[in-house]
Amino acid sequence: MHEVSLCRQLAAAVTRATGDREVEVVHVDVGQLRQVVPEAMRFAWTFVVKDTPLARARLELRLLPATLSCRDCGASSRLGPELGFDCRACGSADTALTSGEQFVLTAVDVRTPTPADDRDGRCETGPGKGDRDGALPSA
Ligand SMILES: [Zn+2]
């Protein structure tokens, strides 16, 4: 399951970038050719960050299509599902992959502390003290 090792690398990179700040969302670009299954990736992420400071960070994947650029005619074309590497415009096999192999941490959303986070520390619900004077009705 290569998603786990990808997530381990990712978690290490995020930790290096953010230190001890609380991370909310991790944005990653994934090229089509990485053969990453988004569901497996998200599952691996929760497994990898469990019991770490990143446990509450959510993984946002953006899948990028694979594209080829042709050295003969200069056309740029998308790799189809059949993964043919010939130019879609002229049929030349002299093409170069220009996108599709990325696995890039593009952004990290960090939680910014707000004044509302300060607890006011008041505690008004103490143990109830009876106001009754305890006097028994005289017989
Ligand atoms: Zn071409």
CATH number at residue 77: 3.30.2320.80
- Residue 124 falls within a domain, yes or no? no
The boundaries of the domain holding residue 18 are 2-109
Give the Cα separation of 90 and 51 in Å (integer): 53
Tens digit of pLDDT per residue, the chain (139 long)?
589 999 999 999 999 999 889 999 999 999 988 889 999 999 999 999 999 999 999 999 999 999 999 999 999 998 876 668 889 899 999 999 999 999 999 999 998 877 665 555 444 444 444 445 555 665 5
The residues whose Cβ lies within 5 A of ligand 1, an ion, are: 70, 72-73, 75, 87, 89-90, 92
Q: Which residues of 34-67 are buried (b: 16+ CB within 10 A; e: fewer)?
A: bebeeeebbbbbeebbeeebbeebebebeebebb
Q: Is residue 74 part of a domain?
A: yes
Q: Is residue 131, in this structure, part of any structural domain at all?
A: no
C-alpha angle 33-97-99 in degrees, rounded to nearest 5: 60
Report which residue type is found at 34. Answer: R
pTM: 0.70
**CB neighbours of residue 8 within 10 Å:** 15
What's the number of domains the chain is made of? 1
